[in-house]
Amino acid sequence: MTIQEIQEEIIDEFSMFDDWMQRYEYMIELGKSLPLIEEQYKTDDNLIKGCQSKVWVHAELDGDKLVFTSDSDAIITKGIIAILIRAFSNQKPQDIIDADTAFIDEIGLKEHLSPTRANGLVSMVKQLKLYAVAYQTQLN
Partner 1 sequence: MIQTTLDIATIRKDFPILNRKVNGQPLVYLDNAATSQTPQQVIDVIVDYYQGYNANIHRGVHSLSQEATDAYEIARKKIQEHFNIAKSQEVIFTSGTTHGINLVATGFTSFLKKGDEVVVSAMEHHSNIVPWQMLCERTGATLKVIPMNLEGELIMEEYHKLLSERTKLVFCNHVSNALGTINPIEEIIEAAHKVGAAVLIDGAQAAAHIKPNLQALDVDFYVVSAHKMCGPTGVGMLYGKEEWLKKLPPYQGGGEMIAEVTFEKTTYADLPHKFEAGTPNICGGIAFGAALDYLNNIGFEALTHYEDELVEYATQKLLSIDGLRIYGTAKRKTSVISFNIEGIHPYDIGTILDKLGIAVRTGHHCAQPIMDFYKIPGTVRASFSFYNTKEEVDKLVEGVKRAKSMLE
Name every residue whose Cβ is closer than 8 Å to that of residue 82 and which is 6 or more positions away in sequence. Answer: 27, 30, 31, 33, 34, 70
Stretch near partner 1 under the rule CB under 8 A, chosen from 4-12, 24-32, 40-48, 99-107 = 24-32
Backbone angles phi, psi at 62, to 5 degrees: -125, 100
Report the catalytic residues.
51
Judge whether 120 and 51 are in contact, CB under 8 Å: yes
Q: Does 73 bind partner 1 (CB under 8 A)?
A: yes
Using CB under 8 A as the binding rule, whether residue 77 contacts partner 1 is answered as yes
Shortest reach from residue 24's CB to partner 1, in Å: 7
Contact call for residue 47 and partner 1 (CB under 8 A):
no
CA distance 134 to 140: 10
- Choice between 36 and 75, CB closer to partner 1: 75
- How far apart CA 133 and CA 121 sit, in angstroms, is 18
The site for partner 1 (CB under 8 A) is made up of 20-21, 24-25, 28, 52-54, 73-77, 118-119
